[in-house]
A and B are shown apart, each in its own frame.
Chain A
C-alpha cells in the first residue's frame, strides 16, 4: 500500500510510431555503414595490413570490438525487457554467463591432450581436483552442436521457469529486480564452488581451438568478430520487428499500465514470459560468442555488479530505443577499457557518476539528447 502512493510509472519514453519499414533510410545507412566497417574494413586492416603499418589494427582492438559487440547485444536484449516491457532485470549477466559456460564447456573439451596435464578427456581443473570421470552434466559436451543448442536452451529454460513463477505471482517493479539480483548472486556462489564442476573460482580458460580452428589464429578471431557483428545486426532487426508488431504494442502497454492491459482481456503473463525468455536466449548467444574471443569465463561474470552495468548501458544510451543501448554499451565498455588501463582509480568514479548523471539528468539517454538537439 505504501508504494501505491509512489506510482511505478516510468518517465515517458518516446516510442516511434509504427511504420511498415523497420527504419527510415537514413538510419539504415548508418547501421549498415557501421556493420560494413566492422565486417570488412576492420578485418582487412587486421589481416592484410602489415603490423608495422600505422593503419594496422591490433589483436587487442579486434578482440575489444568483438567484446563490445557482445555486450551491445546483451544491452539490446535488456532494452527489450526493460525499455519496452518495463521489467528491470538485475540478473541478465547470469544468462550471458550461462551461455558462455555452455560454450566454455565445449572449448574445454576441445583442448584435448594439449592441456597442462595432457588428459585426453578431463579438463585440467578436474584432473587437478583428482576427479576420475566427467560429471553426468558434461556428457556430450565435446559435440559442438549440442553445446550450441544448450547456449540457447539453458538460459532460455532458466528464464522461462523463473519468469513463469515470478510473473504468475505478479511480482513486479523493484521486487522483481531484487529477486533477479538474488538469483544471479546465488548462481555466482554456486559456480564459485569447485565441487559444482565448472572450474570454481578460475572458471574456464586456456582454450586452444574451436571446431578445429586455433583461437590464436587472426583469421579465427576475425570470423568471430564478423559473427558477433552479424548476431548484433540480426538481434537488432528481430527486436525492431518485434517492437513494431502488435506484440510489441502490447508489451509497451504492459510497461505503461499492466493492470489496464489485464482488464482489456490480454494476459500480461504470457507476453512478459515470451519477451523475457527471448531476451535471455539472446544473452546466452552473446555470451557464447564472448567466451572464445575473450578466452576466459568465470563466476565473476555473474556478479550483481555486472548485471547492473548492463542496465546502466541501456539507460546511458536511451531506454526503449534499441539503437540507444547499443550505443550505450559501446560508450560504457569503450570508456572502461580505456580508463581501467590509463587511470584505474578514476574508472569507478566515472562509472558511478554515469549512473547518477544518467538517471537524474538524462532520462532519455544519450540518444534522447541527440534527438532533442535536432528537434527541440
Chain B
C-alpha cells in the first residue's frame, strides 16, 4: 500500500497533462474565425491589405479639392472620386463628412485636433477664427457616407472592410458598384468576401438587366438578405424575377427559422455545459462521497480568481494570449488546496452527519467570500478573453456561435472525459468507488479511507476550480460568483441521480436546453423558476433522480 499515493499522484499528473493537451489541441484543430485574429495581430494580415496607393494620385489634386468644396460641383466630384476608387481621397471625404474640412485656399482638414493641409497631409498653421467650415446637407451626407464606405472596402483591417460592406448594404447606390467589384476581385479574407458578394448582389438587384437581377436574387438568397429581397419585391415588375423573389423569400424564411432553432439549442447546450462544469465537482463530493459541500460555489470562485491572478501575471507579456494554459493548472491547484483545507478542518470531522456538514460548509463559504472580498475588493475583477477566444464562427449568416461558448462546451466535455477516466481507470478511482460503496469493508481491506476522502474531495474541488476558470471567460468574476451556482448545481446532481456521471451530464444538458427553450415564451426569470419547480416536482416522483442505483439500503436509497 505504501506506493499507492505515489502511483496515484503520477496517474493524476498524467491525466491532468492529458487534459490540458486536449484543450490545447482543441483550439489548434478548430479553424478560427479570421476577423479577430487579424485584429489582434497587426502584422498578421498585412498581405491582405491592398498596397498603398501611389503617393501622387491622379484624381485628388488641388483642383479636385476646390471642386469638392464648392457645393455646385460637389456631387459629381464625389462620384468621380468613387469611380476612380482613389483610396487617398478617403481622409478628405471623412473630414468632409464629419465637418472637419475648412475652405481654403489651401483647403485644411482637422484630424485629432490638429490642422493639416488637406492635400498633402502636412501639419499646417492657420488662424482658426478665419477658417470657414465646409457644411453639407443630408442628401450629400448620404452620398458621402456611401462614398466613404465604398473606398473603405478597399483598405484597412478586415473588420473595417466588412463593416463598410455592411454600410453599403444599408445605403446602396449605383455609383459604388465598380468600387465594390474592384474590392471583390482582390479580397482574400473569406468572411469579408462574402459580405462584399452580398453587397455586389444588392447593387445588382437594382440593375436594369433582368438576368443580372436574377443572379442577384440567387446571391441574396444565399446571404439570407430577406429585407433587401422584400424591398425589391415591392418594385419588381418582371414576372420571372418576381417568381424567383418569392421563392427566395420563402427559402430564406425557412433557413432563418432553422437558424433560430439551432441557435436556441446551442445556447441551451452552452448553458448546460456551464452547469455541468459547476456540477461535476459536486458529483464527486456529493454524488460519490455524500458530502454536502455548500462552499462548492466558492471553489468555482477561487478558480476564477486564480485565473484572474494568472492573467495579471501575464499582462504585458507577448504570450498573453496563452495565459489560459497556465491558468488551468493554477485554478485547479488553488481550488484543490482550498478544498483540501476545507476537508481537513471541517468536512472530515463531520462524516456521517450530513446536515451538520451542510451548515459548516455554508459557514466556510461565508468565510471564503469575505476573505476574497478583503483580499481583492468587493468589486468584480476584469478577466479578458485571449484573442483566439473572442469572435465567433458564422455557421449561417444569422447564426454566429461565439468562440468562448464553443470552447467551454469542448472544455466541459474533456473535463467530463477526464473525470470518467479518473474514476473508472485509475487506482484512486477504484478506491474512491470502493469507499463510497462500503466504507467499513474498504477500510477492512486496507484502504486508507481518510486519505482517499481527502484526495477525492480535493479533486472534486479542483474540478470546480477548472469550472471557475471557464466561467471567468464568459461572465463577471466577483466574490459572489459562486453563490449563483450553488442551487443550480445541486439541482443538476439531484436530478441526475447520485453517484452517476451519465446522469449528471444528461441532467445538466437537459436543464440547460429546457431553460433556454422556455426563455422565449416565459422570459428568463420565469424559465428559471419553471425549471426549479420542475426539478422539485420531479424529485417527488423519482426521489433517486434520473438514474437510480439499485441497492438494498433502506435509508436514503
Q: With a CB–CB cut-off of 8 A, which chain B residues contact A88? A: 355, 358
Query: Are B292 and A186 in contact (CB-based, < 8 A)?
Result: no
Query: Are A4 and B355 in contact (CB-based, < 8 A)?
Result: no
Which of B86-94, B260-268, B507-515, B528-536 makes up part of the contact surface?
B528-536
A60 at interface by CB-CB < 8 Å: no
- What is the chain A residue whose CB lies nearest that of B292? A174
Q: With a CB–CB cut-off of 8 A, which chain A residues contact B366? A: 348-349, 351-352, 355
Question: How many whole Å from A329's CB to the nearest CB in chain B?
Answer: 15
Mark interface residues in B34-45 (1 if CB within 8 Å of A CB, else 0).
000000000000
Q: Which of B355, B486, B536 contacts A179 (CB 8 A)?
A: B536
Which of B55-63, B224-232, B324-332, B491-499 makes up part of the contact surface?
B491-499
B209 at interface by CB-CB < 8 Å: no
Task: For chain A, residues 239 to 279, give those with C-beta under 8 angstroms from any C-beta of chain B.
Answer: 259
Question: How many whole Å from B231's CB to the nearest CB in chain A?
Answer: 37
Query: Are A181 and B487 in contact (CB-based, < 8 A)?
Result: yes
Q: Which of A171, A174, A356 contacts B367 (CB 8 A)?
A: A356
Query: Are A182 and B487 in contact (CB-based, < 8 A)?
Result: yes
Q: With A351-B366, A353-B367 given, is the CB distance from A171 to B543 under 8 Å?
A: yes
A178 at interface by CB-CB < 8 Å: yes
Q: With a CB–CB cut-off of 8 A, which chain B residues contact A9? A: 352
Q: With a CB–CB cut-off of 8 A, which chain A residues contact B529? A: 186, 189-190
- What is the chain B residue whose CB lies nearest that of A257? B555
Q: With A6-B352, A182-B532, A186-B532 given, is the CB distance from A349 to B555 under 8 Å?
A: no
Query: Are A4 and B292 in contact (CB-based, < 8 A)?
Result: no
B356 at interface by CB-CB < 8 Å: yes
Q: With A186-B529, A192-B525 given, is the CB distance from A4 to B553 under 8 Å?
A: yes
| Distance of A179 Cα from B536 Cα, bound (Å) | 6
B319 at interface by CB-CB < 8 Å: no
- What is the chain B residue whose CB lies nearest that of A170? B543
Q: With a CB–CB cut-off of 8 A, which chain A residues contact B350? A: 359-360
Mark interface residues in A1-24 (1 if CB within 8 Å of B CB, else 0).
111111111110000000000000
Query: Are B551 and A1 in contact (CB-based, < 8 A)?
Result: yes
Secondary structure at chain B's binding surface: helix, strand, loop or mixed? helix
Q: With a CB–CB cut-off of 8 A, which chain B residues contact A356? A: 345-346, 360, 363-364, 367
- What is the chain A residue whose CB lies nearest that of B370? A348
B359 at interface by CB-CB < 8 Å: yes
A150 at interface by CB-CB < 8 Å: no
| Distance of A355 Cα from B355 Cα, bound (Å) | 12
B288 at interface by CB-CB < 8 Å: yes
Which of B147-155, B380-388, B437-445 makes up part of the contact surface?
B437-445
Question: How many whole Å from B350's CB to the nearest CB in chain A?
Answer: 7
Mark interface residues in B325-358 (1 if CB within 8 Å of A CB, else 0).
0000000000000000000011001111111111
Task: For chain A, residues 337 to 369, give those with C-beta under 8 angstroms from any C-beta of chain B.
Answer: 345, 348-349, 351-356, 358-360, 363
B24 at interface by CB-CB < 8 Å: no
Q: With A11-B353, A171-B539, A175-B494 given, is the CB distance from A259 to B367 under 8 Å?
A: no
Q: Which of B351, B436, B440, B540 contacts A166 (CB 8 A)?
A: B540
Mark interface residues in B429-458 (1 if CB within 8 Å of A CB, else 0).
000000011111000000000000000000
Query: Are A177 and B360 in contact (CB-based, < 8 A)?
Result: no
Q: Which of A8, A168, A349, A358 contacts B556 (CB 8 A)?
A: A8
Q: With a CB–CB cut-off of 8 A, which chain A residues contact B439? A: 5-6
A231 at interface by CB-CB < 8 Å: no
Q: With A11-B353, A175-B543 given, is the CB distance from A352 to B358 under 8 Å?
A: no
| Distance of A174 Cα from B351 Cα, bound (Å) | 13
Q: With A182-B532, A186-B532, A189-B528 given, is the CB distance from A359 to B363 under 8 Å?
A: yes
Q: With a CB–CB cut-off of 8 A, which chain B residues contact A3? A: 290, 354, 498, 553, 555-556
- What is the chain A residue whose CB lies nearest that of B531? A186
Question: How many whole Å from B470's CB to the nearest CB in chain A?
Answer: 23
Question: How many whole Å from B441's CB to the nearest CB in chain A?
Answer: 9
Interface centre among B363, B499, B533, B540 (most CB of A within 10 A): B363
Task: For chain B, residues 355 to 410, give those with C-beta under 8 angstroms from any C-beta of chain A.
Answer: 355-360, 362-367, 369-370, 373-374
Query: Are A174 and B358 in contact (CB-based, < 8 A)?
Result: yes
A169 at interface by CB-CB < 8 Å: yes
Q: With a CB–CB cut-off of 8 A, which chain A residues contact B2? A: none
| Distance of A360 Cα from B346 Cα, bound (Å) | 7
- What is the chain B residue whose CB lies nearest that of A167? B540
Question: How many whole Å from B96's CB to the nearest CB in chain A?
Answer: 46
Q: Which of A4, A11, A311, A349 contacts B359 (CB 8 A)?
A: A311
| Distance of A262 Cα from B440 Cα, bound (Å) | 28
Q: Which of B288, B354, B362, B540 contacts A308 (CB 8 A)?
A: B362
Q: With A3-B555, A182-B491 given, is the CB distance from A352 to B364 under 8 Å?
A: yes
Question: How many whole Å from A20's CB to the nearest CB in chain B?
Answer: 33
- What is the chain B residue whose CB lies nearest that of A355? B363
| Distance of A48 Cα from B540 Cα, bound (Å) | 57
Q: With a CB–CB cut-off of 8 A, which chain A residues contact B25? A: none
B541 at interface by CB-CB < 8 Å: yes
| Distance of A169 Cα from B363 Cα, bound (Å) | 30
| Distance of A4 Cα from B498 Cα, bound (Å) | 12
| Distance of A170 Cα from B359 Cα, bound (Å) | 22
Question: How many whole Å from B534's CB to the nearest CB in chain A?
Answer: 10
Q: Which of B354, B374, B526 contacts A6 (CB 8 A)?
A: B354
A236 at interface by CB-CB < 8 Å: no
Q: Which of A1, A5, A8, A360 contacts B549 (CB 8 A)?
A: A1
Query: Are A360 and B360 in contact (CB-based, < 8 A)?
Result: yes
Query: Are A349 and B370 in contact (CB-based, < 8 A)?
Result: yes
B552 at interface by CB-CB < 8 Å: yes
Mark interface residues in A153-189 (1 if CB within 8 Å of B CB, else 0).
0000000000001101111111101110111011001
Query: Are A185 and B487 in contact (CB-based, < 8 A)?
Result: yes
Q: With a CB–CB cut-off of 8 A, which chain A residues contact B308? A: none
Query: Are B353 and A2 in contact (CB-based, < 8 A)?
Result: no
B490 at interface by CB-CB < 8 Å: yes
- What is the chain A residue whose CB lies nearest that of B491? A182
Query: Are A355 and B354 in contact (CB-based, < 8 A)?
Result: no
Question: How many whole Å from A182's CB to the nearest CB in chain B?
Answer: 5
Q: With a CB–CB cut-off of 8 A, which chain B residues contact A10? A: 353, 355
Query: Are A352 and B363 in contact (CB-based, < 8 A)?
Result: yes
| Distance of A9 Cα from B354 Cα, bound (Å) | 9
Q: Which of B374, B487, B539 contacts A175 (CB 8 A)?
A: B539
| Distance of A282 Cα from B539 Cα, bound (Å) | 27
Interface centre among B288, B365, B539, B541 (most CB of A within 10 A): B539
B185 at interface by CB-CB < 8 Å: no
Task: For chain B, residues 116 to 137, give those with C-beta under 8 angstroms from any C-beta of chain A.
Answer: none
Query: Are A308 and B352 in contact (CB-based, < 8 A)?
Result: no
| Distance of A367 Cα from B131 Cα, bound (Å) | 87
Q: With a CB–CB cut-off of 8 A, which chain A residues contact B499? A: 2
Question: How many whole Å from B271's CB to the nearest CB in chain A?
Answer: 16
5 contacts between A and B (CB under 8 A): A1-B437, A2-B498, A2-B499, A7-B352, A182-B536
Given A182-B491, A360-B360, output 10 extra A-B contacts at Cβ < 8 Å: A3-B354, A3-B498, A90-B358, A170-B543, A179-B535, A181-B487, A259-B554, A308-B362, A352-B366, A360-B349
Binding site for B on A (CB under 8 A): 1-11, 88, 90, 165-166, 168-175, 177-179, 181-183, 185-186, 189-190, 192-193, 259, 304, 308, 311-312, 315, 345, 348-349, 351-356, 358-360, 363
The 6 A-B residue pairs whose C-beta atoms are closest, nearest first, are A355-B363, A1-B551, A4-B553, A352-B366, A352-B367, A348-B370
